[in-house]
Structure 1
Amino acid sequence: MPVPFYEDIVVLVEQGNEPYVAMKPIAESLGVSWQGQHAKLGERFAATIKEILIVAEDGKPRGMTCLHLRKLPAWLYSIGPNKVKPELRDKIIRYQEECDDALWNYWAEGRTARIAAPSVSQHIALSRHRLTLLKELQRSNDVGVRAAVHEQLAQTSQLLGLSVPELMTIGKDDPFPEASLKPLWDALEILDRRGERYNHAPWLSGMIYLKLPHLEALFKKNSISFHFDAEMRRAMKASKQPKFVSTGPKGSSIEGKTIRCWIFEGPLNPEPSLGHIFSG
């Protein structure tokens, strides 16, 4: 179960009707050494960890060390915020204070209460995870792996309000244009983390206006290797999350004048703290 937590995706796994959490993605997200944390888990939490086959962040299925959810707070509080980079301290404290409650609520209350209206950041994270799952299904021939990945794809698609492709329709030779958008979402996520403003739509409008020359300048400024080639433009026109509307003139909230841009209908009501992500 991919669970959005602020700008991250925490992977919740059911094993024997019990909730477990994939630990390596959390450790890496918090900027702590996975090698050291893996050793700590083996020493302090050996009775409550399991190796479970899931789809990793790179899209490849592999066994991952998972900790029982009820032990997550103990592990989180074993990380001293003052021992990490200053820019990560607030994030670690937020995980310590909120993450276990969010996961328990997600686990206990059912899908309708799990996520009523994902924020813009959560939409991006979920969309990227969905594309990773689609790409794994395209290249995998293993029946068991495909079934497990498709189950995760169904859960992620439902959270985004998207249809779930039939498993038999997804194969190595079946192109999914939206999978080509992952490099764009990755590039925009980097801009967001660096506080770069790139959405020209009015704040809280629920729309996304992307001026490609402006984006290319920001990518160059931030040393991001990316180019809007013909394949990327075709994929953008096929985008369903956010939904592509058209290209044309719109008023820019950044430049204060009319610009020609790509227009998307994005998720509504982003949280103020996530203002740089697809925000005006």
Structure 2
Amino acid sequence: MTEKTLTPLSVTDLDMTLDEPRILDLRLAERLGFSRPRDIRPLIESNAEELRRYGILVCANAPQTSQGGRPTIEYHLNQGQCLLVCMFSRTPIAADVRQEVITVFLACQYGEYGRSNGRRMNPRAPIQAADIVARLRKETDPTARRMLHSGLDRLCREIGTPTPPLDELGRDAPPLPDVAAPFFAGLGRLTELGVRWNHARRSDRMAVNLKEAAAHFTTHRIRVVIDTPLRDALKACQAPAFLGIVAVNSTLTGKTVKCWMFGPPDGAAEPIVH
């Protein structure tokens, strides 16, 4: 590690001559522990669209060395952009550097913020906002996403930066019934073809052996893939209601068969208790 890598960020690293306080990309790269600080620039360029959500992405021609070489572009990053680059970098000390970014910018901006708002800002708000953005990119549950975005909106208003739209931060998973619908449609198609698949003895029950159903689907070229998302969707089904995974005395074979049991379409059946 170089001396600059070991030296924490300070207000002396801020360029105050631009539209707002900014840090040079190479200085941030050194502090993050990049073995080649210039490698931060491809990272910035590949995420430029998202970085622009936090303000103008200021760039300039980098000063040429005495050895000459091809002209290069350097970037001057504001607070939000620094935080995002820290998040994208995934270096071992990225979390520590994010905290330094917050501390340095607050040291520079707090006086102005305090006078204009009359209250202190939570110093962890930008870090928390960046964490929520990262979680939203991975989360698919619609309810959880809206709760997270509500928290992000509150933090962004406190920081004084626009809230990124929810639809730009990942996306909702399809509703569970939509995931399960092709499965039940496939069973219906098997019935139309004369294929017996229901092991249940009661007329108001469906007992499906998934391995057997998958083989039927393949044989009859029915495009249904039985995977983890489908299993999760089937467990959440209300119409028909999922009753459990049980050993069934099969009406088809007369033997015990492990099946996924479903009730009537109105979901009125009671769950099976083992």
TM-score band (shorter)?
0.3 to 0.5
Please state which structure has a larger fraction of its residues in strand.
1
Higher relative contact order (CA 8 A, sep 6+): 1
The structure with more radius of gyration: 2
